[in-house]
Amino acid sequence: MSEQNTPDGQGPGGPGGGGPNPWIRSLMIWGGVFLALLLAVSMFGGASQNTGTTISYSDFRDRVASGTVKEVQISDDRITGVLKNDETFNTVPVGNDSGLTKLLDDNGVTYSGTPKEQMSIFWVILIQSLPFLLILGIAFFALRQVQKNGGAGGAMGFGKSKAKMLTEKQGRVTFKDVAGIDEAREELEEIVEFLKDPQRFSKLGGTIPKGALLVGSPGTGKTLLARAIAGEAGVPFFTISGSDFVEMFVGVGASRVRDMFEQAKKNAPCILFIDEIDAVGRSRGHGLGNSNDEREQTLNQLLVEMDGFEANEGIIIIAATNRPDVLDPALLRPGRFDRQVVVPVPDIEGREKILDVHMKKVPLAPDVNPRTIARGTPGFSGADLANLVNEAALLAARRNKRLVAMQEFEDAKDKVMMGSERRSMVMTDDEKKMTAYHEAGHALVSLNEPASDPIHKATIIPRGRALGMVMRLPERDNYSYHRDKMHADLAVAMGGRVAEELIFGHDKVSSGASSDIQYATSLARNMVTKWGMSDKLGPLQYEEQQEGYLGMGQSARTMGSGETNKLIDAEIRALVEGAHKRATQILTDKEDQLHLLAQSMLEFETLTGDEIDQLLKDGKLDRPDEPRGPRKPRSVGGSAVPKAGKRFGGEGGTAPQGA
């Protein structure tokens, strides 16, 4: 959709809608100033211009005495004259030369006097005040231009709202373009229907909701829903970001809030969309004396405008945030935001619908199955799926294909999940061998833990920041985390470290398991302190965490005795060491399979979950020799250590070597 600034509720051309170009108007102003300067110079500078050749006074007397001067005009400060050859001259008299007239008479020179010029008082005042008038004129026109452009960010427009009104000239989005979040879409469709047919609801005593707050993880489609409302509502739609209110000057935020609602009242009924409202709507009073007074003043003005003494009939406020936990309670109450619409990460049905929407723009090969792709992308948001389709199209173009096949979607999914392949990275044979056994340890423990997710792919090709990884994907969308699954994940996390210990010895263990240990420690701590899965500590919470949809909350251990804290640390250690023992037992019993899997990974570099099952079942792997895409040879040499992969399972976050 196209956007236009509406600082005064008018079109871009001002009241008339067709004013002159501001650049042309500015050029005309400066041209007028320049012409005024030229006129002043021509008026008052011409009198001071000398006429003819300037000669010395002694030379003038000599010429008079020699008879070459025809006539002269004498004034107090200058003598001008004409020679007999019609040349003009001028000179400055020296002192009071009383003998000059006798000299002129003796040589037959015609002479006359010139009266002293008397300038009127008007011109004297004008000349003296002209510089000040020019400065004031330039300042006046400059400030006037700044004030006119204030709504678009000019220096004198800090108090003007930066809200923009969307039109339907291009890029119109409708609810048909929104898929996979049916419940959220239905709630917002009801608001649009109320605007189109208010009697249908008002006859039963219902009133239109004053506001709706869209909450959800990044990339789930909150802003897309707002754009769909703008395309469907048929009423003016204003949009602004929460960061557009508060700036460096005190009082600007509250002034912009007032101006924004004044614009909305002029265009009622209308919809006002505030994106990332947590930038201005954070809870007041946090930090006590260190609170942000300017932001709180802006929030107070927003609260008053949304539901204060003055009614805002016909103004519907829609806001979006992924941090509802930090918003002020007064902002969330009914009467301001009557509805909180949760925009979740789509399930498999939603992912399939989203893929269908994005695949309409891509020429697909017959083997592409959106259902299969949706099943293999648990936890993907709408933005992730859009990026997946785009990456697949780019891969097909790079491979000079006319259609995007299923292979491109699989490779794009691996790229999005695990990172880009780094085939040019230099690794020695010893480093590749250690990486292969590390990943084989993860994979083998995962296969022998019944509660573990199935293996999607195992690779020793460096991807992203990892030298290798084992990617596991759940068979379905999971909404809860069970104890047996947690113990299985702990064992899988320890599998890589245990494989290094068994094959290379205690002294050759690498730092590649650092993120495995970090993940296992974090999971064990959550089991003990948050989820009550320690028999000794019981179902009590020992850590509090404030976490929104960004997944980066802060944890703080609650007050407890020193003995309790020691017991917490002991239970965390016991869980991790127990997982280490289970992984050691599995890999010791399956050491032959560990060698087989590691050697196969050294040979093929990448194995799918089905290929790993076939290898462990038949003892060999039958794979066609045709490469799937353009490959580059890998060089040998250099130095590196195995590092952790990007994700653990299908849930996101830091993973134990990609297991």
Q: What is the pLDDT of residues 328-379, one digit of tens each?
A: 888 888 888 888 888 888 888 889 999 998 999 899 999 999 988 998 888 8
- Strand 315-321 and strand 211-215: the pairing is parallel
The pLDDT value given to residue 475:
78
* pLDDT value at 633 more than 50: no
Split at pLDDT 50, 70, 90, the class of 4 is very low
The pLDDT value given to residue 199:
80
Split at pLDDT 50, 70, 90, the class of 620 is confident
Greatest extent of the chain over all pairs of C-alpha atoms, in Å: 141
Split at pLDDT 50, 70, 90, the class of 385 is very high
What distances in angstroms separate CA 629 from CA 121, 277, 390, one per listed residue?
A: 92, 46, 18
In sequence order, what are the residues at sequence separation of 6 or more whose Cβ sits closer than 8 angstroms to the Cβ of residue 434?
500, 504, 508, 510, 512, 641, 642
Split at pLDDT 50, 70, 90, the class of 556 is low
Selecting among 294, 408, 421, 439, the annotated active-site residue is: 439
The Cα–Cα gap between 563 and 268 comes to 64
The pLDDT value given to residue 403:
93
Nearest-CA neighbor of 490 among 463, 465, 521? 521
The pLDDT value given to residue 631:
41
pLDDT tens-digit series, residues 232-247:
877 888 888 888 777 7
In sequence order, what are the residues at sequence separation of 6 or more whose Cβ sits closer than 8 angstroms to the Cβ of residue 284?
291, 296, 299, 300, 328
Q: Which conformational region is residue 532 in: left (phi greater than 0), alpha (psi within -120 to 50 degrees), or beta?
A: left
Split at pLDDT 50, 70, 90, the class of 557 is low
The Cα–Cα gap between 329 and 343 comes to 20
The Cα–Cα gap between 394 and 374 comes to 19
What's the mean pLDDT in 38-58?
66
The pLDDT value given to residue 158:
55
Q: Regarding predicted confidence, which is higher, 123 or 63?
A: 63
Query: Whole-number mean pLDDT of the chain?
Result: 78
Can you tell me whether residue 572 is helix, strand or coil? helix
pTM above 0.75, yes or no: no
The domains of the chain, with CATH numbers, are 51-111 (3.30.720.210), 162-283+292-340 (3.40.50.300), 346-416 (1.10.8.60), 427-543+555-616 (1.20.58.760)
Q: Which residues pair with 4 in a beta bridge?
A: 165
* pLDDT value at 14 more than 70: no
The pLDDT value given to residue 517:
92
* pLDDT value at 607 more than 70: yes
The pLDDT value given to residue 396:
93
* pLDDT value at 457 more than 60: yes
pLDDT tens-digit series, residues 89-137:
888 888 777 788 888 888 888 888 877 666 667 777 777 777 787 788 7
* pLDDT value at 393 more than 90: yes
* pLDDT value at 434 more than 50: yes
The pLDDT value given to residue 655:
35
Nearest-CA neighbor of 340 among 545, 174, 195, 549? 549
Q: Which of 100-114, 158-172, 507-521, 523-537 has the lowest mean pLDDT?
A: 158-172
The Cα–Cα gap between 205 and 407 comes to 56
* pLDDT value at 18 more than 60: no
Percent of the chain with pLDDT over 70: 78
175 secondary structure, DSSP code? G
What's the mean pLDDT in 495-514?
88
- The answer to whether 544 is a known catalytic residue is no
Q: Regarding predicted confidence, which is higher, 580 or 238?
A: 580
What's the mean pLDDT in 576-600?
92
Q: Regarding predicted confidence, which is higher, 323 or 154?
A: 323
* pLDDT value at 188 more than 50: yes
* pLDDT value at 45 more than 80: no
What's the mean pLDDT in 591-606?
90
535 secondary structure, DSSP code? T
Q: Regarding predicted confidence, which is higher, 147 or 441?
A: 441
What's the mean pLDDT in 469-480?
82
* pLDDT value at 519 more than 80: yes
Q: Regarding predicted confidence, which is higher, 308 or 107?
A: 107
Task: Evaluate the CA torsion angle 480, 485, 490, 493 in order and state its sign.
Answer: negative
Split at pLDDT 50, 70, 90, the class of 26 is low
DSSP secondary structure of 241-298 = EGGGS--SSTTHHHHHHHHHHHHHHHT-SEEEEEESGGGT-BPTTTTGGG--HHHHHH
Q: Which of 474-478, 544-548, 603-607 has the lowest mean pLDDT?
A: 544-548
Q: Are 488 and 449 in contact (CB under 8 A)?
A: yes
The pLDDT value given to residue 41:
62
The Cα–Cα gap between 315 and 79 comes to 83
* pLDDT value at 639 more than 50: no
Split at pLDDT 50, 70, 90, the class of 157 is low
The Cα–Cα gap between 388 and 528 comes to 37
Q: Which two three-digit tokens encode residue 550? A: 């960004």
The pLDDT value given to residue 636:
36
The pLDDT value given to residue 431:
84
Q: Which of 7-11, 44-48, 57-61, 419-423 has the lowest mean pLDDT?
A: 7-11
The pLDDT value given to residue 153:
45
Q: Are 455 and 443 in contact (CB under 8 A)?
A: yes
